[in-house]
A and B are shown apart, each in its own frame.
Chain A
Amino acid sequence: ADKLRTQQELERLQAKYIGTGHPDTTSWEFKTNIHRDTFSNIVGHPPLLSYIALAQNEPVAKVRAQMIRKMLQPAGPPPPRE
């Protein structure tokens, strides 16, 4: 029963928090998640966003939109399923 509960708890977490891993997480899923987390993190921290915008010499708003669009598929398309 304990095992079942742990399983359920894990599934609940996986549903609630995107990116919670499971035994069959593929490398692509992992990479995609990490990249998405990175981009959302940059967008969420104003000093970091300014830092990048300043280096690129682009307006902050533009860099922000670029970062969010990069979250779409940061690690390429998923590997073909067997």
Chain B
Amino acid sequence: MATTSNMFMYSLTIQPPTTITQALLGQFSGTREQQIITASGSRLTLLQPDPKLGKVLTILSHDIFGIIRAISLFRLAGSHKDYIILATDSGRIAIIEYNPKLNKFSRIHLETFGKSGVRRVIPGQYLAADPRGRACLIASLEKNKLVYVLNRNSQAELTISSPLEAHKHGVLVLSLVALDVGYANPVFAALEIDYSEADQDPTGEAREEVETQLVYYELDLGLNHVVRKWSDTVDPTASMLFQVPGGNDGPSGVLVCGEESVTYRHSNQEAFRVPVPRRRGATEDPQRKRMIVAGVMHKLKGSAGAFFFLLQSEDGDLFKVTLDMAEDAEGNPTGEVKRLKIKYFDTIPVATSLCILKSGFLFAASEFGNHMFYQFEKLGDDDEELEFNSDDFPTDARAAYTPVYFHPRPLENLALVESMDSMSPMVDCKVANLTGEDAPQIYSVCGNGARSTFRMLKHGLEVSEIVASELPGTPSGVWTTKLTKYDEFDAYIVLSFTNATLVLRIGETVEEVTPSDSGFLTGVPTLAVQQLGEEGVIQVHPKGIRHIVRGRVNEWPSPQHRSIVAATANENQVVIALSSGEIVYFEMDADGSLAEYDEKKEMSGTVTCLSLGVVPEGLKRSSFLAVGCDDCTVRILSLDPETTLEMKSIQALTAAPSALSIMAMEDSFGGTTLYLHIGLHSGVYLRTVLDEITGELTDTRQKFLGPKPTRLFRVLVQNQPCVLALNSRPWLGYTDPLTKGFMMTPLSYTELDFSWNFSSEQCQEGMVGIHANYLRIFNIEKLGDNLIQKSIPLTYTPKKLVKHPDQPYFYTIESDNNTLPPELRAQLLAQPSAVNGDATLLPPDEFGYPRAKGRWSSCISIVDPLSEENGVLHRIDLDNNEAAVSVAVVPFASQDNEHFLIVGTGKDMVLNPRQFTEGYIHVYRFHEDGRELEFIHKTKVEEPPMALIPFQGRLLAGVGKVIRIYDLGLRQLLRKSQADIAPTLIVSLQTQGNRIIVGDVQQGLTYVVYKQESNKLLAFADDTVNRWTTCTAMVDYESVAGGDRFGNLWILRCPEKASAESDEPGSEIQLIHARDYLHGAPNRTSLMVHFFAQDLPTSICKTNLVVGGQDVLLWSGIQGTVGVLIPFVSREDVDFFQNLENHMRSEDPPLAGRDHLIYRGYYTPVKGVIDGDLCERFSLLPNDKKQTIAGELDRSVREIERKISDVRTRSAF
């Protein structure tokens, strides 16, 4: 298959996956500081918990371009640094080190052991490292296990041996951990099932007798081989192992967790077992058994042998498990275990990984929804919780015992400190502009169960407002100033009005300063204020410059009949422009007075703006002056003593400049670069590089910010000079702390007219701004995250989302399987037996809903995303064990195009294998502009309809394999036309004109045409490949973009001839009698674009994301990814990026050794897509590599960086 295409897309991730598949705690920087490493999708992320602030900060996120299957860490004896072992789909084992100086992961070892890909017998599913860092075991789901010996050589470098095999045919592994055995030979414990006998026995008896085994594999370091040392039968439901401390710290061994059972096992110890307590409550099923799904072991500091486990059940309940040791005659603990104890600890959301920090925090990486960061208040030592111990229970899990119960209660031992936003699982997503801002927002539904949310994602930086106060008039400018060079904070706020100036003093309270005190002229407007020299302050007003030094005032009057129109100043220099177009330059003398430079420079047009840079450290002056004139030019003048006011360079612009700012900013080369920022009257913002020696302007990048003239101000955010650009929205230009790339991000704040830096004792790094007659002081706390989230809680796991056609409301359908519906809950609670203390209702968002097999809870919610308080306006619960599966808003032509909400439901559904008793289509009428819904009727259909869309003033429903057109009747929906189209089950429908695109759950897309004259639905094209479609969107009349269950994104196109023929009037005869081609429709679609995205796409839509940007394809993934596919317009760009991508593949090969091209072509060779995520890593390369690539591409490094950032900024965030 050709990998070139005549359609090319640029794939970019706007939001990386937020799920965490595994999290581990370690000391990766080589210091005592504990950090958390997480694997999320293809990304390896390093988190730094800050115990003081109670926050978790992201230090580094690295896309390894491979599927991370397992991570583990180890520490060599005597070292303080943890190394990371990565098991990915590359067929290689990678050992990674974190380099805190460069803030980078670097690879130390990469050993190939097998084929690439996620396969049954290729190791990588399980990974365990010996706690003493001597060996690691990497295992596959079936058969293969490889042991690598880790050591160090004479140069103290880490070495890795060739692999030792411990394969056994026909063995499935359920869980694998390393045993803590001190310094004895490393031992690994695996939970295994052997199917080889069952495979030979036709009677099926052997299958019944299959036992779950706990097997110890010992690595004999002396003989250098691995032996199966010990095995024993354990609980048949066992699925998880936990390491028990050994050596001096404990008895060694493992905890084997199965269904309602936690058993302590070790080769030389007796078994001890405790059951997992069940929840007691009126709505709880007393017979339901729980499994352990996550857990963590923690050794307490100080006392040897003190440790405990926190194990989490599937409801999210944490149990504290401890071991009692037998004592000898003198009362000293021996190495023998006496009993196992379990007690209820607290309830938190179900986690994939738990990490207990030494500083007393618990990091819980939730499997769905926000990740939680808790602080331990106590360890549950002396509370009234019942403790159950193994003395009362048989060790055989199949033996009879009385189950034990506990009462769940709100958090007692833990306190929530921070909840880290996570969009995983993202189920559906729509783009709309409801706020009336210029750029649209992304609306999505995420989460599961009672922790589900509706989230709004907006491009912008979070701003916190400190003060907003009304002013007597409408000011035109605002400045802050210190009084002397040595002041730490600003002393005055100066406000300029049309014919007056107001000076305010900053202190505990803000009060007006009298003119005699401040020395400012208050009867005139102000053009600039600046602290000058050691103790001076200047005020520039239209008629002159006022220099105030310790209360003494020197006035420089402007020449007669001319006034000052623009001014700029820094600590040592002042420049003003006169109405005649002359420029006057002043510099501080040694004695602290302002000295005017003799010559005036005359400009060709009226000067509109000026800028002097800040005086660079160690120098006396800034050597450049930027002058903007109304003839659409910017000139750079020299301020060096030899060449004062000589022109260095000139740049023509598309509009008159409205603001200029010369500023040095951090760049991706690891230093700083001097930039000239230019704001234009047309609302465009430009950034050009100003050469520090020649003053030449190069590398211009531009962005359209809004319809008003752009004004620019230099501000400090997190000690970084940033440019604040004001337009219809305020924007901040800054260097991203992680990628070091320049970002221009809107602030989530009101419009501002003028702004200045602000620093006081209360607010060290703020900004002051004015708009209309309001003065606002605000600050920006975080620069890393440029997407703002707002979330609204929902009731059950959301399934789909639709928007009201004209009103800003969304309708979500939500359903939870195996959940007790509200009416039954109420019934149970009302029973008299429930009264004795069990009737306390626990908030479901923490404790979940009570479960009941085969039951469904489902509802329709009306969400108002713009409301400040409760976002869900109304909720309709579905009864009768029905669950909503699809939703659409349909205008019915027979009802004067009135819109109705159509919801498809299924009754008594069983997911696997698919079963149901009935399917329905509900119709609801909108009331009060969509704020309320009225149920009209429901129509029984033979299967739950999985897809619904409006079609030519009627409803088109995908019911099983059939598509059917319905019209609205009085009592029910009326069938108008139908056709048996899809082979398995229709899950998605799209339409344009007479064309319908049918997506099958398993067999890909079918193109269908609706023939109005004969009222027939006829398939005319389908796909060559089975695509397990999850979502589709029509790109144009012929092409459809979609995603499948395995993480691929693709675009298919119908042949032009077939497309045209299908729409010809009277072509139905041909279509009906057309010969089937290979048991399918007469025509085949062709593949235009194919790309492996790793995450499973749940929705895709064609939309635009920025003002004036082109249309892109936006997709969302279940792990919380939001990505875009940007179409390329010119072939030239495609060639450039293809070349760049090729070079990036060789210069920056993926960390875990996966071949990038193979990764992106995981199932089908990548076609017509350039991986923007890889291209964007260009800015992170070391300079010499950048130079090499730039040389190969025949371009400059800056040019390449500009091209990369242009693609992103033009179409996405």
Instruction: Kindly supply a per-residue 1/0 record for chain B positions 1017-1060, scoring 1 wherever the CB is within 8 Å of any chain A CB and 0 otherwise.
Output: 00000000000000000000000000001110000000000000
B174 within 8 A of A: yes
Do B352 and A60 touch (CB < 8 A)? yes
Do B1094 and A73 touch (CB < 8 A)? no
Do B291 and A62 touch (CB < 8 A)? yes
A residues whose Cβ falls under 8 Å from a Cβ of B: 16-19, 32, 36-37, 40-41, 43-48, 50-51, 53-62, 64-65, 68-69, 71-73, 76-81
- Segment of B103-111, B201-209, B403-411, B472-480 in the binding face: B201-209
Do B816 and A61 touch (CB < 8 A)? no
Given the interface pairs A50-B1119, A78-B202, the reply to whether A18 lies near B142 with Cβ below 8 Å is yes
Q: Which of B119, B449, B818, B1045 contacts A40 (CB 8 A)?
A: B119
User: Measured between C-beta atoms, what is the minimum distance from A57 to chain B in Å?
Assistant: 4
For the complex of A and B, the 9 pairs showing the least CB-CB separation, nearest first, are A65-B239, A44-B118, A61-B293, A77-B204, A47-B1096, A40-B120, A80-B202, A57-B817, A59-B293
B residues whose Cβ falls under 8 Å from a Cβ of A: 19, 21, 41, 67, 69, 89, 118-121, 124-125, 141-143, 169, 172-174, 193, 195, 198-204, 207, 210, 239-240, 291, 293-294, 314, 350, 352, 367-368, 424-425, 427, 448-449, 797, 816-819, 911-912, 1045-1047, 1094-1096, 1117-1119
Docked CA distance A36–B293 (Å) = 23
B-chain residues with CB within 8 Å of residue A62 when the two chains form the complex = 239, 291, 293, 314
Docked CA distance A65–B173 (Å) = 10
B-chain residues with CB within 8 Å of residue A68 when the two chains form the complex = 141, 172-174, 193, 239
User: Measured between C-beta atoms, what is the minimum distance from A59 to chain B in Å?
Assistant: 4
Supply 13 further A-B pairs (C-beta < 8 A) apart from A40-B118, A61-B352, A68-B173: A41-B120, A43-B141, A46-B67, A46-B1119, A53-B367, A54-B1118, A56-B911, A57-B448, A58-B314, A61-B240, A72-B210, A76-B204, A78-B200
In the complex, residue of chain A having the shortest beta-carbon distance to the beta carbon of B201: A77
A-chain residues with CB within 8 Å of residue B120 when the two chains form the complex = 18-19, 36-37, 40-41
In the complex, residue of chain A having the shortest beta-carbon distance to the beta carbon of B89: A44
In the complex, residue of chain B having the shortest beta-carbon distance to the beta carbon of A37: B120
A-chain residues with CB within 8 Å of residue B203 when the two chains form the complex = 77
A-chain residues with CB within 8 Å of residue B69 when the two chains form the complex = 44
Given the interface pairs A44-B69, A47-B1119, the reply to whether A78 lies near B199 with Cβ below 8 Å is yes
Q: Which of A32, A40, A81 contacts B142 (CB 8 A)?
A: A40
A-chain residues with CB within 8 Å of residue B1095 when the two chains form the complex = 47
User: Measured between C-beta atoms, what is the minimum distance from A81 to chain B in Å?
Assistant: 7
B-chain residues with CB within 8 Å of residue A56 when the two chains form the complex = 817-818, 911-912
Do B19 and A73 touch (CB < 8 A)? no
Q: Which of A16, A18, A59 contacts B350 (CB 8 A)?
A: A59
In the complex, residue of chain B having the shortest beta-carbon distance to the beta carbon of A57: B817
Do B1119 and A73 touch (CB < 8 A)? no
Docked CA distance A52–B118 (Å) = 18
A-chain residues with CB within 8 Å of residue B174 when the two chains form the complex = 65, 68-69
Q: Which of B141, B204, B1047 contacts A45 (CB 8 A)?
A: B1047
Docked CA distance A37–B89 (Å) = 15
In the complex, residue of chain B having the shortest beta-carbon distance to the beta carbon of A45: B118
User: Measured between C-beta atoms, what is the minimum distance from A74 to chain B in Å?
Assistant: 10
B-chain residues with CB within 8 Å of residue A41 when the two chains form the complex = 118, 120
Would you mind naming 27 contact pairs between A and B with Cβ atoms under 8 Å apart?
Answer: A18-B143, A36-B142, A41-B120, A44-B118, A44-B141, A45-B67, A46-B67, A47-B1096, A47-B1119, A50-B424, A50-B1119, A51-B425, A54-B425, A56-B911, A57-B819, A58-B818, A60-B367, A61-B294, A62-B291, A62-B293, A62-B314, A64-B239, A73-B195, A77-B207, A78-B200, A79-B202, A81-B202
Given the interface pairs A50-B1118, A56-B817, the reply to whether A71 lies near B118 with Cβ below 8 Å is no
Docked CA distance A74–B121 (Å) = 17
User: Measured between C-beta atoms, what is the minimum distance from B1032 to chain A in Å?
Assistant: 17
A-chain residues with CB within 8 Å of residue B1117 when the two chains form the complex = 47
User: Measured between C-beta atoms, what is the minimum distance from B31 to chain A in Å?
Assistant: 31
Docked CA distance A4–B207 (Å) = 37
Q: Which of A18, A46, A71, A77 contacts B121 (CB 8 A)?
A: A18
Docked CA distance A58–B350 (Å) = 10
B-chain residues with CB within 8 Å of residue A80 when the two chains form the complex = 202
Do A32 and B143 touch (CB < 8 A)? no
Do B21 and A46 touch (CB < 8 A)? yes
Do B449 and A48 touch (CB < 8 A)? no
Q: Which of B118, B121, B424, B449 contacts A17 (CB 8 A)?
A: B121
Docked CA distance A69–B193 (Å) = 8
Q: Which of A40, A47, A54, A72 contacts B1047 (CB 8 A)?
A: A47
In the complex, residue of chain B having the shortest beta-carbon distance to the beta carbon of A16: B121
B-chain residues with CB within 8 Å of residue A16 when the two chains form the complex = 121
B-chain residues with CB within 8 Å of residue A76 when the two chains form the complex = 204
In the complex, residue of chain A having the shortest beta-carbon distance to the beta carbon of B427: A54
B-chain residues with CB within 8 Å of residue A57 when the two chains form the complex = 448-449, 797, 816-819
In the complex, residue of chain B having the shortest beta-carbon distance to the beta carbon of A40: B120
User: Measured between C-beta atoms, what is the minimum distance from B1038 to chain A in Å?
Assistant: 30
Docked CA distance A76–B582 (Å) = 94
User: Measured between C-beta atoms, what is the minimum distance from B1203 to chain A in Å?
Assistant: 32
Docked CA distance A78–B203 (Å) = 8
Q: Which of B119, B239, B912, B1045 contacts A48 (CB 8 A)?
A: B1045
Docked CA distance A44–B1045 (Å) = 14
Q: Which of A32, A43, A54, A69 contacts B448 (CB 8 A)?
A: A54
Docked CA distance A78–B816 (Å) = 37
In the complex, residue of chain A having the shortest beta-carbon distance to the beta carbon of B1094: A47
Docked CA distance A40–B120 (Å) = 6
Docked CA distance A69–B211 (Å) = 11
A-chain residues with CB within 8 Å of residue B210 when the two chains form the complex = 72
Docked CA distance A64–B293 (Å) = 10
B-chain residues with CB within 8 Å of residue A36 when the two chains form the complex = 120, 142
Docked CA distance A64–B213 (Å) = 18
User: Measured between C-beta atoms, what is the minimum distance from A73 to chain B in Å?
Assistant: 5
In the complex, residue of chain B having the shortest beta-carbon distance to the beta carbon of A78: B202
Do B199 and A32 touch (CB < 8 A)? yes
User: Measured between C-beta atoms, what is the minimum distance from A15 to chain B in Å?
Assistant: 9
Given the interface pairs A45-B1046, A58-B314, A78-B201, the reply to whether A72 lies near B172 with Cβ below 8 Å is yes
Do B817 and A71 touch (CB < 8 A)? no
B-chain residues with CB within 8 Å of residue A44 when the two chains form the complex = 67, 69, 89, 118-119, 124-125, 141
User: Measured between C-beta atoms, what is the minimum distance from A12 to chain B in Å?
Assistant: 14
Do B816 and A51 touch (CB < 8 A)? no
B-chain residues with CB within 8 Å of residue A45 when the two chains form the complex = 67, 118, 1046-1047
Do A48 and B125 touch (CB < 8 A)? no
User: Measured between C-beta atoms, what is the minimum distance from A41 to chain B in Å?
Assistant: 6
In the complex, residue of chain A having the shortest beta-carbon distance to the beta carbon of B1047: A47
User: Measured between C-beta atoms, what is the minimum distance from A72 to chain B in Å?
Assistant: 5
B-chain residues with CB within 8 Å of residue A37 when the two chains form the complex = 119-120
A-chain residues with CB within 8 Å of residue B239 when the two chains form the complex = 61-62, 64-65, 68
Given the interface pairs A44-B141, A59-B314, the reply to whether A73 lies near B207 with Cβ below 8 Å is yes
User: Measured between C-beta atoms, what is the minimum distance from B1142 to chain A in Å?
Assistant: 28
Docked CA distance A40–B1117 (Å) = 22
User: Measured between C-beta atoms, what is the minimum distance from A25 to chain B in Å?
Assistant: 14
Docked CA distance A57–B293 (Å) = 14
Docked CA distance A4–B204 (Å) = 37
Do B199 and A73 touch (CB < 8 A)? yes
User: Measured between C-beta atoms, what is the minimum distance from B122 to chain A in Å?
Assistant: 9
User: Measured between C-beta atoms, what is the minimum distance from A46 to chain B in Å?
Assistant: 5
User: Measured between C-beta atoms, what is the minimum distance from B544 to chain A in Å?
Assistant: 68
User: Measured between C-beta atoms, what is the minimum distance from B913 to chain A in Å?
Assistant: 12
Do B195 and A72 touch (CB < 8 A)? yes
Docked CA distance A46–B424 (Å) = 12
> Which of A37, A53, A73 has the most chain B CB atoms inside 10 A of its CB?
A73
Docked CA distance A59–B314 (Å) = 6
Do A54 and B797 touch (CB < 8 A)? yes
User: Measured between C-beta atoms, what is the minimum distance from A70 to chain B in Å?
Assistant: 10
A-chain residues with CB within 8 Å of residue B314 when the two chains form the complex = 58-59, 61-62
Given the interface pairs A44-B125, A50-B425, the reply to whether A59 lies near B142 with Cβ below 8 Å is no
Do A47 and B1118 touch (CB < 8 A)? yes
Docked CA distance A64–B69 (Å) = 13
